[in-house]
Structure 1
């Protein structure tokens, strides 16, 4: 297990009710499961996360399965929902 920070942007921030929170997980999938299972998180947060892309310490996750993406100790996961405009 690694400990780090998850940062939420735009719609993810609004749906989470916070800009950032800690993670304690070995993989991106485990961190997202924990985040979406927190008390007070509803369906909107789960929908936003499902549509989001992710950066880990600035590197894009891309289409890799989230179960295969290991999280680093002290890392930062950025949750980026789709943005409108240019």
Structure 2
């Protein structure tokens, strides 16, 4: 899926965003991934998305909300009928 995602979105310019990819040599979990990406984002606002998550949520609206609230962190959640099947 990695190649499909990177091949489709590339650097993000087509979508009006700047996409940077941080890849792990060994699995570090979400927190480890964010720490590894820190040099890429510095003091910028950023999104953390898992490669296997597909959503129709407007990420632009989510980021606008985050900036409007001057939040340290914003978490987007969606209620699922049977959450066990989603890990």
Q: Same fold (TM over 0.5)?
A: no
Name the larger-Rg structure. Answer: 2
Higher helix proportion: 2
TM-score, reference length from structure 1: 0.31
Query: Larger strand proportion, structure 1 or 2?
Result: 1
